[in-house]
Amino acid sequence: MTINNLHLVTILLMALATYATRVIGYAALSNRTLSARTRAVLDAAPACVLLAVIAPAFVAPKPADVIALAITVVAATRLPMIATVTVAMVASASLRWLTG
């Protein structure tokens, strides 16, 4: 149970930076009437953010991983979440095993 002071300060500053990102967007936009255009942008925001986060998987260096992702994309368009996750894991593990 050791805590290094510099580690602790770093962790606290990280937590502060992250909490700031969580409240600033809300604080800037609460109590404002939004234009149709702003609404359109905010409607697009969720999917844009999620897809940007997983973009590296689409350009992974190993072809096996990209093929497994393609299979996952197809699964995600028609299966519930847990089935899609299962397909993703099986496709990823088996394609990696097959290609060494």
Q: Which residues, 43 to 72, sit near another protein by CB under 8 A?
A: 43-59, 65, 68-69, 72
42 binds another protein (CB under 8 A): yes
C-alpha separations of 14 from 23, 26, 49 in Å: 15, 19, 21
Total Cβ atoms within 10 A of residue 95 = 18
Which residue lies nearer to another protein by CB, 42 or 63? 42
10 binds another protein (CB under 8 A): yes
With H, G, I as helix, E, B as strand and everything else as coil, classify residue 59: coil
Nearest approach in angstroms of CB 54 to another protein is 4
Asked if residue 98 lies in contact with residue 62, where contact means CB atoms within 8 angstroms, the answer is no
98 binds another protein (CB under 8 A): no
Q: Which of 54, 68, 55 is nearest to 99 (CA)?
A: 68
Nearest approach in angstroms of CB 86 to another protein is 9
Q: Looking only at residues 21 through 40 of this chain, which bind another protein when binding is defined by CB under 8 A?
A: 21-31, 34, 36-37, 40
Helices (H) and strands (E) in the chain, counts: 4, 0
Nearest approach in angstroms of CB 40 to another protein is 4
